[in-house]
Amino acid sequence: MGDTGWKDEQGRLWFCGRKSHRVVTTEGTLFTIPCEAVFNAHPGVRRSALAGAGPAGRRIPVLFVELEKGALPGASLTEELLALGAANKLTKSIRTIFYHPGFPVDIRHNAKISREKLALLAEEKLNTAGAAR
């Protein structure tokens, strides 16, 4: 599918991620790289990964977070991350955060996050949470 990005008025190219990894919601389209950068700025976050759950065009954006050593998942950190996201126009629609001990990665690169696997996990977690209500 290719990469997404844009060129600013100064002629600089800004990479936004893979087209196949974008999350199209009823509120707009979210791109992985700019959204994840917002959350990766938090000192407790090692890295994050945006994924989507639900039907095409109406996906629910979900953020998976790997923590830095010593950082603990919990309500306080989740509140901080949600506030960070709510304060940015790019990430204000991200309202679900899951913590993950180690993202699935492509075995050839050992760094390329398998967002497809995380999207399936998001579906499972959201379906389980919905069933528990």
* Confidence grade of residue 108 (pLDDT, cut at 50, 70, 90): confident
**CATH for 3-132, options being 3.30.360.10, 3.40.50.720, 3.40.250.10, 3.30.300.30:** 3.30.300.30
Q: Which residue has the higher pLDDT, 111 or 90?
A: 90
Q: Which residue has the higher pLDDT, 106 or 45?
A: 45
pLDDT score of 107? 84
pLDDT at 43 over 50: yes
Q: How many residues does the chain have?
A: 133
pLDDT at 133 over 60: no
Number of DSSP helices (H) and strands (E) in the chain, helices first: 3, 7
* Confidence grade of residue 106 (pLDDT, cut at 50, 70, 90): confident
110: left (phi over 0), alpha (psi -120 to 50) or beta: left
**Taking the chain, what is the end-to-end CA distance rounded to the nearest angstrom?**
38
Q: What angle do CA 83, 17, 39 make, to 5 degrees?
A: 20
pLDDT at 132 over 50: no
pTM: 0.90
DSSP state of 125: H
Residue with tokens 């993202």, as numbered in its chain = 103
User: Average pLDDT of the chain?
Assistant: 93
* Domain boundaries along the sequence of the chain: 3-132
pLDDT score of 131? 52
